[in-house]
Amino acid sequence: MHKRKKIKKIKLSEAVGYLFTLLVAFTVLVPILWLLVSSFKTDVGVIKFPPRFFPEEWTLHQYLYVGDSIPIFDMTRNTVIFAGGVTVISLLFDSMAGYAFARMRFKGSKALFSIILLTMMVPFQIIMTPLYIEVYKLHLLDSYLGLILPRATSAFGIYMMSSFFEGLPKSLEESGRIDGMSEFRIFRSIMMPLCKPALVSLGIFHFMNNWNDLLYPLMLTSSQNKRTLSAGLAVLVGNKVIKYGPTLAATMISLTPLLVLYIFCQKYFIEGVAAAGVKE
Amino acid sequence: MKKKLISLFLSAAMCMSLLVGCGGTGKETGGQTAENVADIQNEQEAAADTQTDNQAAGETASGEKITLQFWNVFTGSDGDILREIVDNYNKTNTDNIEIQMDIMPNDQLQQKLPAAIATNTAPDFVLFGVENIAPYVSNDSLEDISDFWDVTGVDKSNILENVLELSHVDGKLYGAPMQYNVSYLYWNKDLFREAGLDPEKAPATLDELAEYAVQLTNPEKNQFGLALPTSVTYMQFLWANGGDADDPDTNTNLLDSEENVKTLEWLQDLTVNKKVSPSNITGPEADTMLQAGQIAMYMSGPWQINGLRAQGIDFGIAPCVAGSAGAFSPAGGCSYVIPKGTDESHKLAAYKFMQYWLTDDVLKEWSQRNGFPVWSKTLMEDPEIQNDEVLSAISKATEIGRSYNLGYALASQIDNDVMIPLFEKVMSGAATPEAALKEASEAMDRVLAQ
Amino acid sequence: MANFKKKKRRYAAQNQKSAYLFILPSMVILSVFVFIPLLASFVISITNMNIFMKDVSLVGFKNFTRLFVDSRVSNATFNSLYFTLLEVPLQVGLALLLTVCLAKNNRYCKMLRSIYYLPFVCSMTAIGIVWSMLLDPNMGLVAYWLKQAGLETVAFLKDPKFAMPTVIAVTAWKGFGYTLTLLAAAVLNIPQSLYEAAQMDGAGSFQKFRHITIPGIWSTISFCIVTTTISAMQMFDQAYVMTKGGPLNKTETVVQYIYDRGFQTAPYDLGYASAISVYLFVIVAVMTFVLRRFILKRGEDADA
């Protein structure tokens, strides 16, 4: 009797869990689906009242308009170089610094870590103008290097990696040290393989943030052929009149590569760290 | 220990910041700018050289090629037309000038341009709203181009006086006019028909406007009589009844007046009691609703025309309505300006393009394709323009244009800190007209005191 | 144990040099591209500089005294705190709740976790545009559907009372999937043996959650709380795209007001904008350290 009751209870809570998770999934998917289908609406269809979810008439017009208006391929290439460059370099630097803060003891580590945390609290708008002047003084305006270098490490990444390293079992590097490995080898051969999921997750985070960033690349580039995709697409949104059709299509265009990347990478980090075989 | 480290670090960073020189107390920045001018110019020349080299590769070396950097805020469809005109200029001009155009949203341009001027990385010329000219001039960031007429030989007298005025500050010319506009009253003829109103007759007075707006509002169909977006200053209403905001020439606050109270009461009655407008909408949202046929009347600039045509709306255009003191509309426009630091040869090349723009052919193309009013006197006589129903309507409505703080350095502060909050409070019913006006008047005093 | 620690410390001392080498690249980049501009803005805050950077002179603490009598600063501070205090618990709480439901590696859980991550991939601009179109009280689908269903609707972003809650909900909607991913990874990382041991001791599922899961993922939770709080205090994009700070300044945050003074309202008073930045910086720094001390301490308690 008692046992049966328990089973029933579990089932009920599971059912509630399913219902809840599906409901949340629904609210997540509906707006994104709406964005997708609406980008195939005609100019009239987008703003029609009463509104409709699906287009009455499917058209590629908005995409063609976007393609005519801006050099999508050049801008995509720039964005890949910029976001990709930032991601690769900052993954390396972030994890190195995060590792040092989490697993090594050195003088001033706490103070330095606090200072790094402080930099997370600086909204970009605040340092924007001094940064522009600085990049100019370094002769890096309007170059890939000038775009990548200021972003080549981030307080967020260091913080995230150090949190991750802190969670790893303490015995790991001891064995390496006993074997007489150098710190860098311990980091490279023992630690790095373990943090693949964290790296992928942080990598996607960096890639996405820089891919989507508008103000920063716009500030530091001064010619259209160095402009990134999101900065380029911002031009389509009219100054006085917003054209919703092209805006939605442009949004889809900038989103699609990220979605593809995301689908491609998700198995690494969705499966979690357990897959890496870390056991205490 | 910690403290020591932090202070050590801070002082180290401070030193570095001084070395790099973005620390910027006044003298320092000034000194450095001067120091670096030569440096920068060399760099720019070097950069220009390499560019020329690259581009000249396929050409015969006839004359020196000049590449002009050109920034503007023409995002959206009018930017497409501008680009075509610039491309055409690049192909046809005989002065070996090539213009490289870069469009960016207005907000971003405003963030970037001052820093670019300060570091001498600004483009050779810029196209932006005339309301920006005064703040740039008061910070010594634009070139005085008063010699434009003499150098280019463009006939100044062929341009309407009120258009030219917008590009002047303290009697000096800082911009070449590119387009001019006021606010017009748009109305949806189909909705007028449905409401039993004469579709060919727009309201002419404030009272008629209110009366029509009520008749045209139909909550059942989600239809509104008159869209009144927030973040807009409704100077046309204040002026119509003889009120005003301020006098830029004498720095006087004119808000606290019986006329203004009366106008604002009328406005609050329309929005709060009669609900003729969707509440708290933005300009673009109102545009959208107008294009979707959910709004019967709306006051806006000529940039609505192409959108309305594209959506197939049967619409009319009329001047802003009149009150007891007459009918007025705030004027606006865009001008080509030259940032400080552009060198002489590039400045002259930019003059050439401005001259090209001011030819009747180009102005006509721009007006016809974009629906902007014409303001060249010879063009106004042009039969094609006169026979164009929309263009002649808006060109006529342009006569009531009136400058609202244009050329006044405090204009944007007055708008953002005084007038927009005032209208927002009145239209949302957050305060009575008297209370809102009193508060706004105090805010105005604070701004004018600067 | 003590001996082991000592040994470790000595070993670490020998390797101080390599530790500095590890952090060197990051420190150099952060110094040049963040600290220096930041210090510059500190310096700017005691000047009358505008964005044209001409005729600059020191004005002492005038900008700061002005800041404390500016009612828009206090309004913006209130809005930022309001936003943070609601958004952070909503985002982290929702993520934690869903983690409990989805911390398994079966196909269903993996799929849902991927779906939840989707909004995070999109830019805030895109999400802002989509939601403001959907939630538009006159033309939007959501309002239309609610009306069709005969339900009472509110004007969401257009209503002074509901604008901020709507912005909060949209922000949490965008971010919870990311938090969930981090938390789920941490949960999956907890050795299964701990649960098995607890099972044998007769612990119920709530007890297991309370005594194994929470302590096991505490460092991740604290990471999520701290980072979400910091970004919440810097909220800008959402309101910039969806409300522009309105209606009636009800969604104007501190960063937005900084932006307005420095870059939108001539005479583009960078000195004053920087003073407000310094003020915000101090608030966020104090909050972060209080938060870190508090939750780190709790984490240690939970560990014990």
CATH number of the domain that residue C189 is part of: 1.10.3720.10
Total structural domains within chain A: 2
Subunits adjacent to chain C (3 or more Cβ pairs under 8 Å)? A, B
User: Is the domain of A129 the same as that of A16?
Assistant: no
Query: Mean pLDDT lowest for which of B54-63, B329-338, C294-303?
Result: B54-63
In a domain, C47, yes or no: no
- Tell whether B264 and B393 lie within a shared domain: no
Q: Is A137 on the interface with B (CB under 8 A)?
A: yes
Q: Does A140 touch chain B (CB under 8 A)?
A: no
Please check whether residue C85 touches A, CB under 8 A: no
Instruction: Name the residue in chain A with its Cα closest to that of C44.
Output: A130
> Using one digit for the tens of pLDDT, what is the confidence trace for C105-119?
788 888 898 899 889
What confidence score (pLDDT) does residue B53 get? Answer: 43
Query: With an 8 Å Cβ cutoff, is B110 touching chain A?
Result: no
pLDDT at B242: 95
CB contact under 8 A, C52 and B222: no
Minimum-distance CB partner of B105 among A48, A69, A239: A239
Residue pair A267/A204 in contact by the 8 Å Cβ criterion: no
Which phi and psi angles does B410 have, rounded to 5°? -90, 5
Q: Which chains touch B (3 or more CB pairs under 8 A)?
A: A, C
CB-based contact B231 C244, cutoff 8 Å: yes
Instruction: Tell me how far apart the alpha carbons of residues C110 and C123 are, in angstroms, rounded to a whole number.
Output: 23
Number of structural domains (chain C) is 1
Tell me if A65 is assigned to some domain. Answer: no
- Residues C31 and B206: their CA atoms lie apart, in Å, by 61
pLDDT band, very low/low/confident/very high, at B417 (cuts 50, 70, 90): very high
Q: Is residue B41 part of a domain?
A: no
- Is C140 part of a structural domain of the chain? yes
Token readout for C206 is 């709530």
> Which pLDDT score is estimated for A240?
66
Q: Is C183 on the interface with A (CB under 8 A)?
A: no
Interface with chain C: mutation pick from B75, B282, B414, highest number of C CBs within 10 Å: B282
Read off the pLDDT of each residue in A258-275 and give the average, rounded to a whole number. Answer: 66
The alpha carbon of residue B80 and the mean position of all alpha carbons in its chain are separated, in whole angstroms, by 18
Say if B115 falls within a structural domain. Answer: yes
Task: Give a yes or no: residue B361 inside a domain.
Answer: yes
Confirm whether C155 is domain-assigned.
Answer: yes
Q: How far is C294 from chain A, CA to nearest CA, in Å?
A: 15
**H or E element: which one contains C254?**
helix C254-259
Task: Say if CB C225 and CB C291 are below 8 A apart.
Answer: yes
Q: Which of A107, A110, A121, A237 to mutate to test the interface with C (most CBs of C within 10 A)?
A: A121
Check CB contact of C58 with chain A, cutoff 8 Å. no
Closest residue by Cα to residue A246 from B128, B370, B79, C236: B79
Bond before C267 cis per omega within 30 degrees: yes
Per-residue pLDDT tens over the stretch A163-221: 888 877 777 777 777 888 888 888 888 888 888 878 888 888 899 899 988 888 888 88
Q: Which of A171-185, A238-252, B344-358 is modeled with the greatest confidence?
A: B344-358
CB–CB contact C35 A119 (8 Å): yes
Contact list in A for residue B116 (CB cut-off 8 A) is 132, 222
Do A84 and A219 reside in the same domain of the chain? yes
CB contacts under 8 A, C 6-25 vs A, are: 8-9, 11-13, 15-16, 18-20, 22-23, 25
Domains contained in chain B, number: 2
Chains touching chain A, criterion 3+ CB pairs below 8 Å: B, C
Torsions phi, psi of B80, nearest 5? -65, -40
Residue C257 belongs to a domain: yes
Q: What is the pTM of this model?
A: 0.85
Cβ–Cβ contact B348 with A under 8 A = no
Q: In sequence order, what are the residues at sequence separation of 6 or more whose Cβ sits closer than 8 angstroms to the Cβ of residue C280? A: A123, C80, C233, C254, C255, C258
Judged against a pLDDT cut of 80, whether residue B203 lies above it is answered with: yes
Q: Given an 8 Å threshold on Cβ–Cβ distance, is C33 in contact with A131?
A: yes
Question: Is C34 part of a structural domain of the chain?
Answer: no
Strand pairing of B168-169 and B172-173? Answer: antiparallel
Q: Is residue A151 part of a domain?
A: yes
A9: in domain: yes
Q: Based on the fold, state whether residues B314 and B344 are members of the same structural domain.
A: no
Residue C8's pLDDT is what? 57
Q: Does residue A110 lie within any of the structural domains?
A: yes
Structural domain boundaries, residue B188: 184-245+255-330
Lowest mean per-residue pLDDT among A36-40, B231-235, C161-165: B231-235
Question: For residue range C19-48, what is the model confidence (pLDDT) as tens digits?
Answer: 899 999 999 999 999 999 999 989 999 999
Last residue of a domain, one of B377, B400, B423: B400
The verdict on B326 and B190 lying in the same domain is yes
Average pLDDT over residues A113-118: 86
* ipTM of the complex as predicted: 0.85
- Residue A232 structural domain: 72-276
**B71, B161: one domain:** yes
> Long-range contacts for B164-169 (Cβ within 8 Å, ≥24 apart)?
B165/B403, B165/B406, B165/B407, B166/B130, B166/B133, B166/B331, B166/B332, B166/B333, B166/B335, B166/B403, B166/B406, B166/B407, B167/B130, B167/B133, B167/B335, B168/B407, B169/B133, B169/B134, B169/B137, B169/B138, B169/B407
Among C61, C15, C13, C59, CA closest to C278: C61
- CATH code, A108: 1.10.3720.10
Q: How many angstroms separate the CA of residue B307 from the nearest CA in chain C?
A: 17
The answer on pLDDT for B42 being more than 60 is: no
Residue A238 counted as domain residue: yes
Q: Compute the distance between CA of residue B422 and CA of residue A276 in angstroms, rounded to an integer.
A: 61
Q: Which of B1, B100, B108, B131 to mutate to test the interface with A (most CBs of A within 10 A)?
A: B108
Work out the number of other CB atoms within 10 angstroms of the CB of residue B246.
22
Supply the pLDDT for residue C113.
87
Tell whether B202 and B295 lie within a shared domain.
yes
- Say whether pLDDT at B97 is over 60: yes
Q: Are C86 and C168 in contact (CB under 8 A)?
A: yes
> C138: how many CB neighbours lie within 10 A of its CB?
23
Residues of B in contact with A214 (CB under 8 A): 108
Residues B293 and B221 in one domain: yes
Minimum-distance CB partner of C266 among B17, B279, B412: B412
Residue C298 is assigned to a structural domain of this protein = yes
Looking at the domain assignment, is residue A63 inside a domain? no
B106 and B232 share one domain: no
Tell me, what CATH number does B191's domain have? Answer: 3.40.190.10
Buried b / exposed e over A178-215, threshold 16 CB at 10 Å, is: eeebebeebbeebbeebbebbbbbbbbbbbbbbbbbbb
Confidence band of A125 (pLDDT split at 50, 70, 90): confident
B189 and B134 in a common domain: no
- Domain co-membership, A27 together with A91: no
SS3 (DSSP) at C81: helix
Residues A26 and A160 in one domain: no
Residue of C34, C40, C223 lying closest to A159 (CB–CB): C223
Domain that holds residue C251: 67-303
